[in-house]
């Protein structure tokens, strides 16, 4: 089965009219939707309820227009990243499977999904989480029909973070947690990224003391988000496979820092689109579906030799500073403000930078 990809704008917090319109137009059916990756307009923090509202809206459309049971719809991976700082437009990229054919001798986009074993509060930030995530990534590779990790270009995850209730639950069972609640988003993301890196052979299994500490360990294809709405690692793995059918291809590169616009264009080239040496958004010719990237404030407080203040700002979180900045660079690069930019890139790409993934329409 081939993969169909479409990007739709969210006109309000609970708007899923874009995906409903595509279903009604026959681009794909509700039952063919297999994953959604989107940006919502909340604060991006632990209490960002906009992720839940968007999730409910999209699942309601799948229920209204399809035949799947509530349980089947519940298991469709939907990864929502909160926070549209700066120019970022709330949007969702929808993935569906259909029977469209493509060139049998060409590699085209494939997707695999998986859910990990239950992640306990005491697992977050520790080797147990790395191991559970790595096992789920391998399961998603198998689901996609990919055998070579080099063919994997994007692993998008959603994992639990800590809440006061989950911390108290762990304590009642005589367990400790690795960090406090507001640190747990970054720690959950970072630990998950190491699980991805281990599964794909990018790094060896880290020691406990290396997790969220040794930032020289990272994955170049990981994009990890976390939230309160689940208790397992939700894995959406994308790569290319010969004879997969369809018209889409995926590639990746890394942004070395927040200004590395060339890293964005390198990911598009890696997906298979020819670009001039010094490209502009107009050179994409409508062939780019979307870019997905992670970013992180450089912990040295420097950017290309210039002092940065985002880590010292007591009024505005560095999350919002860096997301807005990279969102602006990305929107400039692709000529579209509906771009997926997510923060907390610990162990995701190099320190101060992050992975960048591109999906292109390669044609028939």
Positions annotated as catalytic residues are: 158, 225
What letter does residue 352 receive in the DSSP assignment? Answer: T
Angle, CA of 286, 293 and 316, to the nearest 5°: 120
Q: Which residues of 86-112 are buried (b: 16+ CB within 10 A; e: fewer)?
A: bebbbbbbbbbbeeeebbeebbbbbbb
Structure tokens at 256: 């070395």
Q: Could you give the C-alpha distances from 62 to 26, 30, 274, in angstroms and in order?
A: 14, 5, 36
Rounded Cα distance, 246 and 4, in Å: 7
Residues in a beta bridge with 2? 98
Q: Could you give the C-alpha distances from 334 to 173, 279, 284, 324, in angstroms and in order?
A: 50, 10, 7, 15
Q: Could you give the C-alpha distances from 135 to 192, 226, 227, 235, 284, in angstroms and in order?
A: 11, 18, 21, 11, 37
Contact status, residue 145 vs residue 238, Cβ threshold 8 Å: no
Rounded Cα distance, 160 and 51, in Å: 13
Alpha-carbon radius of gyration of the chain = 19
Residue with tokens 């420097």: 302
Rounded Cα distance, 154 and 113, in Å: 12
Strands (E), 191-261: 222-227, 232-242, 248-255
Rounded Cα distance, 158 and 138, in Å: 16
Residues in a beta bridge with 6? 94
Contact status, residue 325 vs residue 77, Cβ threshold 8 Å: no
């Amino acid at each position: 089965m081939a993969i169909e990809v479409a990007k739709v704008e969210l006109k309000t917090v609970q708007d899923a009219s874009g995906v409903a319109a595509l279903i009604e137009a026959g681009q794909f059916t509700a039952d063919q939707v297999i994953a959604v990756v989107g940006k919502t307009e909340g604060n991006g923090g632990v209490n960002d309820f906009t992720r839940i509202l968007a999730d409910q809206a999209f699942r309601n459309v799948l229920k209204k227009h399809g035949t799947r049971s509530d349980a089947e719809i519940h298991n469709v991976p939907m990864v929502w990243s909160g926070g549209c700082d700066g120019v970022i437009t709330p949007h969702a990229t929808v993935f569906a499977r259909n029977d469209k054919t493509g060139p049998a001798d060409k590699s085209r986009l494939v997707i695999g999904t998986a859910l990990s074993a239950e992640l306990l509060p005491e697992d977050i930030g520790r080797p147990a989480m790395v191991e559970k995530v790595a096992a789920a990534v391998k399961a998603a590779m198998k689901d996609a029909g990919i055998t070579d990790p080099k063919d994997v270009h994007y692993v998008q995850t959603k994992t639990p973070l800590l809440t006061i209730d989950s911390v108290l639950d762990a304590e009642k069972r005589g367990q400790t947690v690795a960090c406090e609640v507001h640190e747990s988003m970054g720690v959950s993301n970072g630990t998950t990224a190491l699980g991805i890196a281990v599964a794909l052979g990018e790094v060896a299994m880290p020691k406990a003391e290396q997790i969220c500490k040794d930032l020289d360990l990272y994955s170049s294809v990981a994009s990890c988000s976390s939230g309160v709405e689940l208790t397992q690692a939700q894995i959406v793995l994308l790569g290319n496979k010969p004879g997969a059918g369809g018209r889409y291809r995926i590639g990746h590169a890394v942004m070395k820092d927040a200004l590395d616009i060339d890293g964005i264009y390198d990911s598009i080239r890696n997906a298979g689109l020819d670009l001039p040496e010094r490209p502009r958004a107009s050179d994409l010719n409508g062939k780019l579906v979307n870019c997905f990237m992670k970013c992180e404030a450089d912990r040295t407080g420097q950017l290309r030799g210039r002092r940065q203040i985002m880590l010292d700002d007591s009024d505005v979180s560095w999350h919002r500073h860096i997301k807005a900045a990279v969102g602006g660079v990305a929107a400039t690069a692709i000529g579209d403000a509906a771009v997926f930019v997510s923060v907390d890139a610990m162990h995701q790409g190099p320190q101060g930078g992050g992975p960048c993934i591109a999906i292109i329409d390669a044609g028939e």
